[in-house]
Amino acid sequence: AAPRRRAARGLAAVARDVPEVDISALRSPDATAAERLTVGRQIDAAFRSAGFMYVSGHGVDPALTHGVRNAAAAFFDLPQAEKDKILLTPETACRGYQPLRMNVTQGVADKHEGIDFYRDVRDDAVIEVDGVKVREAAAVAKELVGVNQWPEDIPSIADALADTGGFRPVYEDYLNAMEGVGSDIMAGVSLGLGRDERFFEKYYDRAFWVMRVLRYPLAPPAVGDQQGVGEHTDYGCLTLITADNAPGFDRCLQIRDMHKNDWVFVEPRDNCFIINIGDMLSHWVEGYRSTPHRVLSPQGHPDMPEAQAARGRVSVAYFFEPNFDAVITPLAAAEGAGRGSGEPVLYGEHLREKVTSNFNYGVAQG
């Protein structure tokens, strides 16, 4: 087989101002208040500078992060007709499988496959809001009322994935782990702002989380950079990313260096999550940066095994978000200070406006 080349990305700039923050003090009941405050201040500094950070000391078993990426690869390797059985359509509440080029960013088709998951919202679910019981579906935009499409919902897919250990069990474990990590990082944000570490909790006690499971195929050797995901900012509070980082897969995520007005790579690191903030946290906290970023299609590496090249680059992004009905008012404006916009934003409406225009449902296969 022809060798997989690695293009001139090897000479491209790598982000230098993305710090690594060890959050073990936020995750340990034995940490002192001073240790937790130190981590909070490090998080605060990262979000004011790059808007991105690496997180270590999170306590998530590497076997779990590898497991979710391997389960994703096993699903994406299925025949197209099988994957299409959980296809995202206008009737599936933004949940389900997207083939290549269904996802669109700024009018350009993205070169990735994906599965989108959200917190389930059932018609008969009842929640309590300000002491009053209401139907959850009444508090969520109708376009997002629904339940997830899991691969195992389809018997033929369940049978095909049985030998790999399945998909849903490992992802449910991962969702639980990410909720804990996200919650602790938000506690660190609170501390970094000089507030009680539980300050934000009431805004995400029914967090409307989102998860995107993505595979980026290799760009053909004769083709230059291709848009895996076009330039964008994220919508909510925190994004937690685990991604394949083998040579040839490592230089794909880019962030915009605001000082140089140029793109720089953020390479995955072993046993670290890449964390960035989204529009809501930037709106909430004056000075926090929701940094534009994009993903280029992987270009491979001369020594990349054929099996790895065929697998493509797998990335899983978990979005730690506020409650759907959370009203986000900039803290400085709420307290009569600051220069930013003081307009409150209903998170769910902001999300609905963003995600309902993301898809080309009529995309052709082939």
In the prediction, which pLDDT does 13 show? 72
Using DSSP's 3-state secondary structure scheme, residue 358 falls into coil
Query: Which element (helix H / strand E) includes 112?
Result: none
Backbone phi and psi for residue 290, each to the nearest 5 degrees, phi listed first: -90, 95
Report the phi/psi class of residue 248: left, alpha or beta, with left for phi > 0 and alpha for psi in -120 to 50.
left
Q: How is residue 209 written in tokens?
A: 């989380």
Residue position matching structure tokens 């967090």: 207
Angle at the Cα of 48 from the Cα atoms of 42 and 50, rounded to 5 degrees: 90
pLDDT value, residue 200: 97
Q: Across residues 331-345, what is the average pLDDT? A: 71
Is there a contact between 286 and 332 (Cβ–Cβ < 8 Å)? yes
Quick one: pLDDT band at residue 224, thresholds 50, 70, 90? low
Fill in the amino acid letter for 297: S
> Which pLDDT belongs to residue 301?
81
Q: What is the pLDDT of residue 3?
A: 39
CA distance 324 to 177: 21
Q: Which H or E run contains 364?
A: none
Residue 8 has pLDDT above 70, yes or no: no
Looking at residues 305-319, what average pLDDT do you find? 94
Spell out the domain ranges in the chain: 8-355
Mean pLDDT value across residues 147-170: 94
pLDDT tens string 272-288: 999 999 999 999 999 99
In angstroms, the CA 358 to CA 102 distance is 8
Map tokens 């990735």 to a residue: 112
CA–CA gap between residue 226 and residue 238 (Å, rounded): 26
pLDDT digits (tens, 9 = 90+) for 24-52: 999 999 999 999 999 999 999 999 999 99
What's this model's pTM, rounded to 2 decimal places?
0.92
Contacts of residue 222, defined as CB under 8 A and 6 or more positions apart, other chains included, come to none
Each residue of 57-73: pLDDT tens digit? 999 999 999 999 999 99
d(CA 347, CA 27): 27
Mean pLDDT, to the nearest integer, of 146-172? 94
Return the structure tokens found at 155. 């018997």
pLDDT number for residue 226: 84
Contacts of 170 (CB under 8 A, 6+ apart): 64, 67, 68, 71
In whole angstroms, what is the distance from residue 136 CA to residue 134 CA? 6
Say if residue 179's pLDDT is above 80. yes
Q: What is the pLDDT of residue 365?
A: 47
Q: Write the pLDDT tens digit of every residue in 197-214.
A: 999 999 999 999 999 999
Residue 123's pLDDT is 73
* E runs forming strands in 1-48: 20-22
pLDDT at 302 over 90: no
* CATH H-level superfamily of 8-355: B-lactam Antibiotic, Isopenicillin N Synthase; Chain (2.60.120.330)
